[in-house]
Amino acid sequence: MRSLTLRGAFGRRVLAVALGLAAGLTTLSPLARPAVAADGLQQVTGFGSNPGNLGMYVYAPADLPANAPLVVAMHGCTQSASDYHAHSGWQKFADAWGFAVVYPQTGPANNSMSCFSWFDPAEDTRGRGEAASVVQMVDHAAARYGSDRHRVFVTGLSAGGGMTADLLAAYPDVFAGGAIASGLPAQCATSLAAASGCQYGDQRLTPKQWGDKVRGSYPGYTGPWPRVAIWQGTADGTVAPVNGTELRDQWTDVWGIGQTASGTRSLPGSTTESTYDDPAGRPAVALYSVSGMAHGLAVSPGSGADSCGSTGTYYLNRVCSSYYTGKFWGLDASPGDGEGTLPAPSGLTVTGTTGTSAGLSWTAVSGAASYAVYRDGGKVGSPTGTSFTDTGLSAGTAYRYTVAAIDPSGAEGTRSGAVTATTTGAAPRCYTASNYHQVAAGRAHQSGGYTYANGSNQNMGLYNVAVTHTLKETSPGYFVLADGGC
């Protein structure tokens, strides 16, 4: 078989034979009593016909309730299910928030570098190969644990991220959301020969062309689309940072919401979160750009609520991506959230702003024990009173807020109408020019024939006058790609 070896965390496809069992893990047949390894990970056999020749591993908290969410987490090349379980931090939040995690595993019998085959139509399309095996795992786990089929999510790193995007496109009826870490857009490559071009270069497709790749993966689908989080390091030399922008373009086009961010905020680890809201004001797509991070999954070891994971090869100490992904999906919500009978608070008003904060107040709701405050669709506070000050905001930026009342049982009522708070200070400025002129103006720099935005270090492509980008200055001397609008 003709082969092509790809650098870093990707590899070449070889003929599939039997997939060996990972050392140190226990085996769980469909009807057997679970045999649990020291880290709680179980191997499951007999979950289906398994056309993709994958292994299935599961972590489920001992007190997992019925109708809990289900997360599928896919490792990167040269990794394994146990490796991803040990480093990614998903176990911590499965215990804290109550959900099960399925870890698909490929290996050298499928691919010489244990990569999921995100570039092979025989493996990554609806009803075929590895993609079909993953969905069989979902069906098996959902039946075993009584999972909520409306809250099934999938995430993956590198090649696992590329397969995650393909799964979201091929099975939007299965997955309510996804998270792609250092990965590729859905159906970016449909052959091994084309895979390296996706890894390292700008495909120069319009958002509609990217969106068409998703829509073509399940023709005729008219149901809701998954909510997608995208994680990308700006110094990634294995998967070019432009893939994060392309993923943003792809999924915002699928949602029909445009490429202009509804809101931005700074997170730990020099991370910028840009969210893109659906018509109801809920984030449908989120792009997390981690300044200066190389290829890998962002983790943040520690004991804090927003800490997770451990460092290792392709596990980089920056920010706990699993924590923010879980919150983006709503995994941290209490079972009663959104199901209460309390009315929406009235009189929501912006009481004042500074360059980094916004103050809010509203009228008390009878029977409320506390309130939930949402910024750009994401929950940012739970005050017991009728006022709240949101901090850590960007200057000159507009934010949308809603508030809901929470009763003593924890059930959240109807959200209020939205108000907009605009922080003081200079609004971000945008500059559109060729890469050559961006460098000449001091907004970018060039290295090795490529152009990089100053501050964010995002790869802008070749250093010449033929490549044009829009840069947004979010703080003095800090520029981010803003081709979709400022």
- Residues noted as catalytic: 158
Q: How far apart are CA 42 and CA 56, in angstroms?
A: 8
Secondary structure of residue 324 in the 3-state scheme: helix
The dihedral sign for the CA sequence 293, 295, 296, 301: negative
- Rounded Cα distance, 323 and 334, in Å: 16
455 torsion bin: left (phi>0), alpha (psi -120 to 50), beta (else): left
* Alpha-carbon distances, residue 354 vs 357, 425, 429 (angstroms): 5, 8, 19
Which pairs count as long-range contacts for 25-30, CB under 8 Å and 24+ apart, including other chains?
A: 25/57, 25/81, 25/82, 28/58, 30/140, 30/144
Tokens 């969905």 locate to 135
Please give the Cα distance from 208 to 182 (Å, whole number).
22
Structure tokens at 295: 């290829």
Region label for 291, one of left (φ > 0), alpha (ψ between -120 and 50) or beta (otherwise): beta
CA distance 362 to 351: 10
- Residue 442: which residues within 8 A CB-CB, separation 6 or more? 454
3-state secondary structure (DSSP) of residue 248? helix
- Six-digit token pair at 335? 């079972």
